[in-house]
């Protein structure tokens, strides 16, 4: 299976590899079905711009590096209920949030690679909740690389899941961080540090962030981790920038917006070319990434013309030219 832009879907050669849900999380179309043009049109109207499909060239690729759909949807529901509670000025569903955090922690700890599913695979209404889940997943992998213990990872994950919760009470972009902090600080079961993630996730090392223009040591490390993950997730899901280009943009922010240690931890643990990515080598040959093995930036590929599988980590002279 592989991810494709919805406008590249070919009914003759592709079937869905992951189910499609509507804005109420109801099943719209199951896996292993081809998509009728009317359904495709409806998906576009819902805001879905990416599909997970299976076709001849992606046969055997499992995308096991990605969080499975049921687990993703369950954690999204926790975030959704928290947003609804905040909008109604009711207490947040803390036990559900902490249960979701424990599940994410377990997934991150047991897997060497864990990639988020792009929010562009979902209806527009579900994306804010999926964004929180994806930012938490990315941030936990940075934390794991930095050697965080379980307690620190828990506080980080809670803050990342709910980093944008202030948006339910204000439509002003530069006001939502403080609004989110005000919501989270009222929850006695949560660490105040989780609230500061919401407050500071748009702050940058060089002082160009908001809402307070903090810089350097004034910004908590948790917030910088969340900020980097939020930036990356927006690049790949909202701006549809390919992961390898998004990683280059992250590296350009090294010691400008984000500290070197956090940037390095991210780059060393998030692959440039996720499984299912179709690439062209400098030889002109086309290939598809089939798995991440020993090196995040040097995956195992399958040459499409010969079906030969090659580990780029073991063959440094073979270089990817571009995504095709």
239: buried, middle or exposed (CB in 10 Å: 19+, 13-18, 0-12)? Answer: exposed
CATH node for 2-58: 3.90.105.10
**Annotated domain spans of the chain:** 2-58, 69-267, 278-323
Other beta carbons less than 10 A from residue 60's beta carbon: 11
Q: What is the pLDDT along the chain (324 residues), one digit of tens a residue?
A: 999 999 999 999 999 999 998 888 888 899 999 999 999 999 999 999 999 999 999 999 988 888 888 889 999 999 999 999 999 999 999 999 999 999 999 999 988 888 888 999 999 999 999 999 999 999 999 999 999 999 999 999 999 999 999 999 999 999 999 999 999 999 999 999 999 999 999 999 999 999 999 999 999 999 999 999 999 999 999 898 999 999 999 999 999 999 999 999 999 999 999 999 999 999 999 999 999 987 889 999 999 999 999 999 999 999 999 998
**CA distances (Å), 76 to each of 82, 108, 117, 148, 214, in order?**
10, 17, 12, 24, 30
pTM of this prediction? 0.94
69-267 has the same fold as 2-58: no
CA distance 45 to 22: 11
CA distance 36 to 57: 22
CA distance 107 to 104: 5
CATH node for 69-267: 1.10.3210.10
Prior bond to 9 cis, omega within 30?
Answer: no
Extended beta strands in the chain, E state: 2-5, 15-16, 20-21, 27-29, 50-54, 278-281, 286-291, 300-303, 309-311, 320-323
Q: Give how far the C-alpha of residue 21 lies from the chain's centroid of Cα atoms, to the nearest Å.
A: 18
């Amino acid at each position: 299976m592989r991810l494709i832009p919805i406008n590249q879907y070919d009914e003759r050669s592709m079937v869905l590899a992951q189910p499609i849900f509507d804005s109420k999380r109801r099943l719209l179309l199951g896996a292993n079905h081809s998509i009728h043009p009317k359904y495709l049109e409806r998906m576009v109207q819902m805001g879905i711009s990416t599909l997970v499909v299976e076709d001849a060239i992606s046969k055997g690729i499992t995308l096991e590096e990605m969080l499975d759909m049921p687990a993703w949807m369950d954690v999204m529901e926790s975030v959704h209920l928290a947003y609804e509670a905040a909008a109604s000025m009711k207490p947040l569903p803390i036990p559900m949030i902490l249960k979701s955090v424990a599940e994410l922690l377990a997934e991150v700890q047991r897997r060497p690679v864990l990639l988020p599913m792009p929010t562009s695979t979902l209806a527009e209404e579900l994306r804010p909740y999926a964004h929180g889940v994806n930012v938490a997943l990315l941030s936990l992998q940075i934390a794991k690389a930095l050697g965080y213990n379980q307690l620190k990872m828990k506080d980080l994950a809670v803050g990342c899941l709910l980093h944008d919760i202030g948006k339910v009470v204000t439509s002003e972009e530069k006001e939502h961080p403080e609004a989110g902090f005000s919501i989270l600080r009222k929850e006695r079961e949560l660490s105040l540090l989780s609230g500061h993630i919401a407050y500071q996730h748009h702050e940058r090392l060089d002082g160009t962030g908001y809402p307070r223009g903090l810089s350097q040591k004034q910004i908590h490390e948790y917030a910088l981790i969340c900020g980097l993950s939020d930036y990356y997730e927006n690049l790949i899901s909202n701006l549809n920038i390919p992961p390898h280009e998004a990683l280059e943009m992250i590296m350009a922010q090294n010691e400008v917006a984000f500290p070197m240690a956090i940037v390095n931890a991210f780059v060393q643990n998030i692959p440039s070319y996720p499984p299912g990515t179709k690439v062209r080598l400098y030889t002109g040959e086309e290939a598809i990434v089939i798995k991440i093995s020993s090196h995040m930036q040097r995956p195992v590929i399958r040459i499409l013309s010969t079906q030969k599988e090659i580990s780029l980590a073991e063959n440094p002279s073979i270089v990817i030219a571009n995504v095709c």
